[in-house]
Amino acid sequence: MAQAEVRRRIMDAALEVFLRDGYVGAKTDEIAAAAGASKQTIYKHFGRKEALFEQIVLDRLTGIDEIFQDALRKLAAADDLEPTLREVARNFVHALTRPAHLRVRRLVIAEAGRFPNLGNAYFEAGPGRVHAALAAAFEQLAGRGLLRVEDAVLAANHFTWLVTSIPVNKVMFCGDEVTFRDAELEHYADSAVRVFLAAYGVRVGDQPAGQ
């Protein structure tokens, strides 16, 4: 078996054990059994359990912001803002409520006290990058007179939390058994856009930002 495949099997198995038992409760023997590997193989590839845990989380961060890049490029160039914002909002709420994403998010939060640097890395590579990209799009729209934005990063945070806070909070507190129909998620997204535009949209008589 190729070494890359061995690493992937160990990481996938370890994630399930960490999610089930938490970091402290997870045993290397159980991870090895779930991966069909030996403890020695795990130590060879990852060293300590701590390093394996960190690698799993960082692996899940790769490309998080890339999920939204096409939608945000389209948003920055939009002329008809409301329907494009609805499309972006729906993209966000479906992506950010995926069970796999929320399970890792819950795990990172639970272990943030033990792994503060990892928590910071998760935040910067996930929410931080997404909000920075969204803020850049909002700044372009404000420059074109389509939004009223003084603090683009704050506006980006307002937007994403309006879109995702209800379903994400419910799943984070109530567990993976909570599910939402597509129509529910899209209702949250569409409602969020209406509220966002009520605060940041350009009204009759407004001047474009910077004028």
CATH class, domain 63-200, is mainly alpha
Q: What pLDDT score does 161 carry?
A: 95
Q: What pLDDT score does 210 carry?
A: 44
Look at residues 88, 69, 101 and name the one whose alpha carbon lies nearest to residue 167.
Answer: 101
Q: What is the CATH number of domain 3-60?
A: 1.10.10.60
The runs of H, that is alpha helices, within the chain are: 3-25, 28-35, 39-46, 49-61, 69-76, 81-96, 99-110, 116-123, 129-143, 152-174, 182-200
Q: What pLDDT score does 110 carry?
A: 87
Q: What pLDDT score does 65 carry?
A: 62
pLDDT in tens, 116-146: 988 898 888 888 988 999 999 999 999 999 9
Helix (H, G, I), strand (E, B), or coil: what is residue 208? coil
**Integer Cα distance of 142 and 145 in angstroms:** 5
Q: What pLDDT score does 168 carry?
A: 92
Per DSSP, 91 falls in state: H
Residues of the chain with pLDDT under 70: 1, 62-67, 204-211
Q: Domain boundaries in the chain?
A: 3-60, 63-200
Which token pair is 139?
A: 């700044």
What distance separates the 2 farthest-apart alpha carbons in the chain?
A: 70
Question: Do 129 and 64 form a contact (C-beta atoms < 8 A)?
Answer: yes
Please state, in angstroms and as integers, the Cα–Cα distance from residue 94 to each residue in 140, 181, 183, following that order.
Answer: 25, 10, 11
pLDDT in tens, 155-178: 999 999 999 999 999 988 888 788
Q: How far is CA 172 from the centre of its chain?
A: 13
**Integer Cα distance of 121 and 57 in angstroms:** 9
Question: Do 34 and 13 form a contact (C-beta atoms < 8 A)?
Answer: yes
**Integer Cα distance of 121 and 132 in angstroms:** 15
**Integer Cα distance of 85 and 71 in angstroms:** 9
